[in-house]
A and B are shown apart, each in its own frame.
Chain A
């Protein structure tokens, strides 16, 4: 139960943050990516504002255990692989085209109209296809 309540709290903070920061407005996201147009630096402030509490939180994990028990995530793997790069490029292309990434797509689902629902459906479809595409990419990368 505690786990579920903490998840709800985390999700509420996340959704509230995405809403007040303006990140569910696609013009603000595309504005950040659009260096040749009317550039909008807001996203950098959002990222910076989010990284500060998270940085403190990571410091706080040292020598401690999560509140509900278990262990903290393992230190990040240092290896870069083709999946990380290819996946990020594909994600970035979609992000640039529509100005939506997964968090804001969920947060805006009630006020993003039919387009928001279609985006969500396509995104979930993409997520379902990802294991298949990933295996193909593995084969491709082994061949080159």
Chain B
């Protein structure tokens, strides 16, 4: 759709404001993989409820906005189970080893000109583009 980029900009602004609240309010970097991962490996036990509250907001807000949208929202997630499982594992392992994902390294890192954030973003975009090109256009598997 032609208006997609406007919604992208608006939504991006909201994401950035979320990051600003988390930073200026709690003094923390808003990274989805870190907030979630800390609950999984036990490193986030000291601020457990802060993490749970953040994730609750992430889950609930789309449901509150849902009635305002009169179009059907489709995530178009692949129905190939093996792809979903492999992709999930790679995203989980990778973001924790790299210590950040699109929100932490991408949004929060780039906005303070962090070299690590910029390098991570370049590598995950290149890896994503190459993987998609191979699996979709060369091998036709996804």
Contact = CB atoms under 8 A, between A and B. Distances in A.
A9 B21 contact: yes
Contacts of B9: 45-46, 48-49
Contacts of B19: 10, 14, 50, 53-54, 57
Contacts, number: 479
B86 to A, nearest CB: 7
Q: Which of the four size classes fits the interface of chain B? A: 35 or more
Contacts of B22: 6-7, 10
Interface in B1-25: 4-25
B92 to A, nearest CB: 2
Q: Which of the four size classes fits the interface of chain A? A: 35 or more
A34 B58 contact: no
A142 interface: no
Interface string A99-119: 111110111111111011011
B8 A6 contact: no
Given A20-B14, A42-B8, A130 B21 contact: no
